[in-house]
Structure 1
Amino acid sequence: MTLTELLENFYDELIRFILDDVYKYIPKSLITRSLLIGAVTGTLGYLFFKKRYRLPPGPFALPLIGSPQFLSSSKENLGRVFHKISKKYGPVFTVYLGLYPVIVLNRIDVINEAILKKAAHYSDRIARYSVQKPSYNGQDIAFGRYGTAWKLRRKIASRGIRLFMVSGAINIKIEQAVSETVRAMMMETEPFDPMPFLYFTTVNILAGMCFGTSYKYKDKEFLHIMGSLQAVAESMSGGILIEDILPPMRLFPSKKLLDFYKSFDEVFQYADKHMKDHRRNFQPDNISDLTDNVLLAQKEVETEGKDNMAEFNDLHVTLTLFDVFLAGNDTSRQTLYWAVLLIAAHPDIQTKIQQEVDSVCGRERYPCMSDREKLSYTDAVLHEVMRYGTVTPLGVPRNTSCDTTIAGYDVPEGTTVFINQWAIMNDPDNWQDVDKFKPERFLDEDGKMAPKPENWLPFGAGRRVCLGEPLAKPELHLIIASLCQRVHISLEPGVPVNIKAKDDQIVNLPNPYKITIKERN
């Protein structure tokens, strides 16, 4: 008997075994049997010969749905959840978002292995369904695929931010924003939630940097864009969208997904409107804000050759402005919300900030960039705020661009990877008195800022390090110094102090609170 005949007999018996009693009802035609043999052969071939990966271990996952931790019914913050799981399965483990494996990194050595030592393997972005539309299929910076086009867009945005910083304009924008914020706060006669006022501060600074605009409190355009930004924040903190887990659900979009799209589009249209206004009045020799810088960069790319225009067209101009404005506002006001709460809850810390600012700047002059090195204690407070109130516990998820490894385990190409920033900044193995708010942990014996601890990573690291870090740190530092210089902040009288984070899957925010302020004489 030939090899071909042996294989035919083998597949005939295999089909008979699989289909059992049904086999006798299958037509005996050559075509039918060939199709069956082909289907079974293909399936078995795929199962037997597909590449096998030794994924990191992990907890139980439900068929099709994936790991229960991702379900919207679970409200506990995923950073804390994954940190607990790591105590059982180790610093690297696997969970499932629907059918798709997700690798979670929970310790600094494995994080550094991925984002520093193997940066080229771990610098891509997840192609999550819900972000494809607002990012125009990954053509922005935040969600863009790593490559030549992405590097060009990031370079242009980074240059614009850097030019804004060195121009000294940030000092003016912060002084204007804080003075308007304090003026608006002083109008409140009862305890109030500071969130709208902190939004007002960050929107004024970012709108000034990006578009050259400024607002008065309760200005109609400010109220509109604040509402849009708040809607984006609520959409993003609402947990994992079902459409990202179960593809068939995309045929019937949920209200949560539609609201997500709507809020993103409103912020995009805001950025696009200002971009078009700038384009109409653009003068290459009169560059005054980030929009002008990005438009100038587009002209430069155009002169280098028409091929480059596909990499930085009008859509990319707006997406660049959209990314800087949206991300800068969201994380900054969330960090400030933690800062105001923690400073008000620790009057001794607030007094130390005020004494330091008074000694460096006095009471009349606002703190500026050249003062930052002398405002070490205030800087330590900011660092501790970012550690204690890790507003983005998992950062922005990454994707692997090729088959790679981590801690001896296999990681297939296209795998989503979470960097658990909450774990490394809130693990008692890394920090003494981890549950206490202690700015002094960031100072040396002389009261100056000590070298940055390896486990302090609020902006990420490597090729995907946060684009806005060079702006956010000095901006937040000077806002905190300026607010404490001008007012004394107290929590609402008679209300128990609660500095614990509220339950939320994606972001890490304090429970709503109210304050009172008193102008310092």
Structure 2
Amino acid sequence: MDFLSFVIGLCLTWIIIKTFHIILRSKAIHKKLPPGPKPFPVIGNLLELGDKPHRSLTRLAKEYGPIMTLKLGRLTTIVISSANMAKEVLQTHDQLLSNRTVPDAFRLQGHEVVGMPFIPISRHWRNLRKICNGQLFSNTALDANQDTRRKKVQELLAETRQSSLTGEAVDIGKAAFKTSLNMLSNTILSVDLVGPNSDATIKYKEIVWTIMKEAGKPNLADFFPVLQKFDPQGIRQRMTVNFVKMKNIFAHKISERLQLRKVSGSLTNSDMLDTLINICEENSEMMDKYRMEHFIMDLFAAGTDTTSSTMEWAMAELLCNPDASSKAKLELKQVIGEGHTMEESDISRLPYLQAILKETLRLHPPTPLLLPRKADADVEINGYIIPKGAQVLVNAWAIGRDPTLWENANSFMPDRFLESEIDVKGRNFEIIPFGSGRRICPGLPLAIRVLHLMLGSLIHTFDWKLEDGVKLEDMNMEENFGITLQRAHPLRAVPI
């Protein structure tokens, strides 16, 4: 009994010491947390977010600084709002801050396990990045698909020309979405997903935007994990409906291709889908049909909505800034020549067009808060501790409008980039629309080509004016917040 008493006493002593250690450590970390607004009991700072969190968090950062703590329910969230702090998170401490907090909205159909944006750094994630960087978005692969993108832009110009003949306004976002959707579907599947004069464009756009909007909403199930099984706001339910619609489209296309390949003498398309199927046949651990469906979904969701929204913002800014539009048209005329077609090879000779897109992405980053990251361990930045398990949000929208970095930060001034080496490829933290570090958007090389080609072609071929009755000073530049940043009111403009 004496021995047993000794063992029990020893265990109790160890438990007491361990408990005190945890309490002291918790207090020490709490003291070192970045500053932030005082949280309310239980709900924390949830009421601070509002319906446009990128703007709310920017206002709070002016008071509490570029690294700030919020308590969102039970979730400790660190918000980064300056280029220097973003560099610490995305480059210096990238290894410990590369994994994701997975929104409850994406915990469906197993997407959190295989979907590239949210899976942890792992063998599967590295395999997907290897496929992207080596076989899908390499310069060699993109050069091989130039004809497809050229053809789709020519179709866009032909449809726009018809509108110019009738004086009909063009829905810029819808037109850009259709073009980027068919560019991707031809590159990946060798088919148009949307035909001419088809209502399918609206259907696809609604599906993708609903996914982005629902996923971007503040979700009680993320802040109070006990609520996840109840889905109190119905976000996961609505996500699932649209997710399944989209997934079924690609599952059907994959099944069709797999059946076709079984037919003796059938020709391969040498597109992305064939590349993925070849990988699947060579190494089923790297890729299989289930993973393929989710991977292609990610490519379409990320590559269509962001492209069309950026195009819409760029055209809106040019309509509001006629001088910038005139400079762009003059440059295109001098470099390409009147009546000639713009090619991707011309992009490097069009510095003002490049400046316009940089300025658009600075003011209107497609993903204003980037995708959330998670601390795998305590990380010290600028004397503060980001505690293990905390969510980390990088406010790219705030950084792009930081008045300490940018003169007239809220004004559209493409000329600021003419004498600047700053680019959008993740090396300069003053402007990070595609993120940076190992989690940078893998489709960046394709996005750069598509955006320049589409925008340059539209402003080289046509003059543009707003619909009759709409004045520049009355033009609405309000935003709708989701994972991506959309215009609240579709841009309609008449090509001339």
Fold match (TM-score > 0.5): yes
Compare 121-130 and 168-177 and name the one that shifted more: 168-177
Q: Given that residues 210 and 325 in structure 1 are in contact (C-alpha distance below 8 angstroms), is that contact kept between their aligned partners in structure 2?
A: no
Q: Shift of residue 47 of structure 1?
A: 6.2
Residue 143 of structure 1: aligned partner: 118
Question: Residues 385 and 113 from structure 1, CA distance in 2 versus in 1: closer, same or farther, beyond 3 angstroms?
Answer: same
Structure 2 partner of 1:29:
none
Instruction: Determine whether 1:297 maps to 2:275.
Output: no
Please state how far the C-alpha of 1:461 moved relative to its aligned partner: 0.6
1:129 aligns with 2:85: no
Change in 2 beyond 3 A, CA 1:504/1:221: closer
Q: Is the 8 A contact 2:160 2:170 kept in 1?
A: no
Deviations for 1:224-254, whole angstroms, at most 9, x for unmatched residues? Answer: 42332232233235x2122222334334333
Aligned letter for 1:166? Answer: D
Spell out, residue by residue over 1:25-48, the C-alpha distance to the aligned partner (whole angstroms, 9 max, x if none). xxxxxxxxxxxx99xx97996465
1:206 equivalent among 180, 184, 197? 184
Contact 1:164 1:170 in 2 (8 A): no
Partner of residue 510 from structure 1, selected from 467, 487, 491 = 487
- Tell me what 1:78 maps to: 53
Structure 1 partner of 2:80: 105
Question: Residue 218 in 1 paired to residue 197 in 2?
Answer: yes
Post-superposition CA distance 1:71-90 (Å, at most 9, x none): 6xx22x22222222222222
2:437 matched residue in structure 1: 462
Matches of 1:155 and 1:188, distance apart in 2: 48
Q: Structure 2: which amino acid aligns with 1:295?
A: I
The reply to whether residue 267 of structure 1 matches residue 246 of structure 2 is: yes
Matched AA of 1:271: F
Task: Report the Cα distance in structure 2 between the residues aligned to 1:46 and 1:202, rounded to whole angstroms.
Answer: 56
Q: Structure 1: which amino acid aligns with 2:137? A: I
Contact 2:177 2:304 (8 Å CA) reproduced: yes
Rounded Cα–Cα distance in structure 2 between residues aligned with 1:147 and 1:410: 25
Contact 1:164 1:209 in 2 (8 A): no
**Structure 2 equivalent of residue 164 of structure 1:** 141
Q: Which residue of 2 aligns with 1:371?
A: 346
Stretch deviating more after TM superposition (485-494 or 178-187): 178-187
What is the one-letter code of the residue matched to 2:43?
I
Distance 1:180 1:204 in 2: 15
User: Does the 8 Å CA contact 1:338/1:510 hold for their aligned counterparts?
Assistant: yes
TM-aligned CA distance change 1:402 to 1:98, over 3 Å: same
1:174·1:478 contact (CA, 8 Å) conserved in 2?
Answer: no
Alpha-carbon distance change, 451 to 95 in structure 1, aligned in 2, over 3 angstroms: closer
Q: Residues 62 and 285 from structure 1, CA distance in 2 versus in 1: closer, same or farther, beyond 3 angstroms?
A: farther
Partner of 1:243: 221
Identical residues among aligned pairs (%): 24
Cα distance in 1 between the residues matched to 2:17 and 2:40: 24
Moved more, 403-412 or 379-388: 403-412
Report if the CA contact (8 A) 2:167-2:494 is conserved: no
Structure 2 counterpart of 1:209, which letter?
T
Cα 1:125–1:285 change in 2 (3 A) is farther
Could you say if the C-alpha distance between residues 46 and 274 of structure 1 is closer, same or farther in structure 2, counting changes exceeding 3 Å? Answer: farther
**Secondary structure of the corresponding residue to residue 144 of structure 1:** coil
C-alpha contact 1:70 1:97 (8 A) present in aligned 2: no
Secondary structure of the residue aligned to 1:119 is: coil
Within the candidate set 206, 211, 214, 1:227 is matched to: 206
Q: Secondary structure at the match of 1:143?
A: coil
What does 1:86-105 align with in structure 2 at a 5 Å threshold? 86-105=61-80
Q: Secondary structure at the match of 1:281?
A: helix
Deviates more, 1:256-265 or 1:506-515: 506-515
Select 2:230's aligned residue among 212, 229, 252: 252
Q: Which moved more, 1:480-489 or 1:501-510?
A: 501-510
CA distance in 2 between counterparts of 1:502 and 1:399 reads 27
Q: Normalising to structure 2: TM-score of the pair? A: 0.86
Give the drift of 1:428: 0.7
Secondary structure of 1:138's aligned partner = helix
- Aligned pairs for 1:330-479 within 5 A: 330-444=305-419, 450-452=421-423, 454-479=429-454
TM-score (norm 1): 0.82
CA contact (8 A) 2:94 2:438 kept: yes
**1:482 deviation in Å?**
0.5
Q: Distance in 2 between matches of 1:184 and 1:217?
A: 12
| Change in 2 beyond 3 A, CA 1:187/1:313 | farther
Over residues 488-519 of structure 1, what are the superposed CA-to-partner deviations in whole Å (9 max), with x where a residue is unaligned?
11123433333643364754333315433233
Report the Cα offset of residue 56 of structure 1.
1.7
- What amino acid does structure 1 have at the position aligned with 2:373? R
- Which of 451, 474, 478 does residue 501 from structure 1 map onto? 478
Unaligned stretches of 5+ residues in structure 1: 11-36, 303-308
What residue in structure 1 maps to residue 270 of structure 2? 288
Give the gaps of 5 or more residues in structure 2.
none
Q: Deviations over 1:260-304 (max 9, x none)?
A: 2211222222222222222223499845321112222223324xx
By how many angstroms is 1:117 displaced? 1.5
